[in-house]
Amino acid sequence: MPKQIVVMGGGSFSVEPEESLLDAYVLGLSAKPRPKICFVPTASGDSAMYITKFYEAFGDRAEACHVGLFGRPRTDMASVLTSQDIIYVGGGNTANMLAVWRVHGVDRMLADAWERGVILTGVSAGMICWFEAGVTDSFGPLAALRDGLGFLPGSACPHYDGEKDRRPTYHRLVHAGFPAGYAADDGAALHFVDTALAACVVSRPTVGVYRVAAEGASIREKALPVRLLSS
């Protein structure tokens, strides 16, 4: 089984009133009529509303479950996570999420699941976490997060068009030595197979994905080819 990660800059079931095209793309990768999908809402503090939205979005088209880490965590997390077709990481506070994962060993469980062919995906914090580094508002103002899981090399910046300070902050950080990486607008996703970028998909024609890197004293932002999804 190939190792796959799909990262979304923003959008998905939590904010889109109708069925998310990005979510449908991820479900389709499993090639199963009712894939097993597990939601990990740690970044939101296991928000009850977020979890409810997840079940409303996926309950009719997948075998949906979730793993909570606040309160008393379940004792079978490792077996639950590795038995899924898809693991979906929600948005919220990336730094807090990573810290909680490491306390409970979820970082190692996710690595094991990925190695076994479970598709990893997520939005916002669920985009940043798979990379070595990212642009986050976990500390209040936008800042560098340098201790991501590192499944994917380089850095990531979600909400590239959705928050006015994301782009200049990312440029400034990369110019100052932050790892080069990828930026995604809300409604855009990057699909990695192993650690290579295999596809870029968007749910609207006005959004995109970008490769951002330092070139000498300047920043190069390259728009990547994208495929517009349809329902």
- Give pLDDT, residue 74: 87
Give the domain range for residue 80. 4-228
CATH number at residue 97: 3.40.50.880
Q: How confident is the model at residue 50 (pLDDT cuts 50, 70, 90)?
A: very high
- Give pLDDT, residue 15: 84
Instruction: Give mean pLDDT, residues 29-39.
Output: 97
Q: What is the mean pLDDT of the chain?
A: 96
79 catalytic per annotation? no
124 catalytic per annotation? yes
- Give pLDDT, residue 10: 94
pLDDT in tens, 165-219: 999 999 999 999 999 999 999 999 999 999 999 999 999 999 999 999 999 889 9
Query: Which of 124, 138, 155, 203 is the catalytic position?
Result: 124
| Percentage, residues of the chain above pLDDT 90 | 93
**Residue 110 vs residues 84, 129, 169, 217, 224: alpha-carbon distances, Å:** 11, 11, 29, 38, 28
Query: Which of 159, 171, 191, 203 is the catalytic position?
Result: 159
Q: 0.85 cut: is pTM over it? A: yes
Overall number of domains in the chain: 1
Q: How confident is the model at residue 19 (pLDDT cuts 50, 70, 90)?
A: confident
Per-state percent for the chain, helix, strand, coil, to nearest 5? 30, 30, 40
In eight-state DSSP terms, residue 14 is T
Instruction: Give mean pLDDT, residues 105-112.
Output: 98
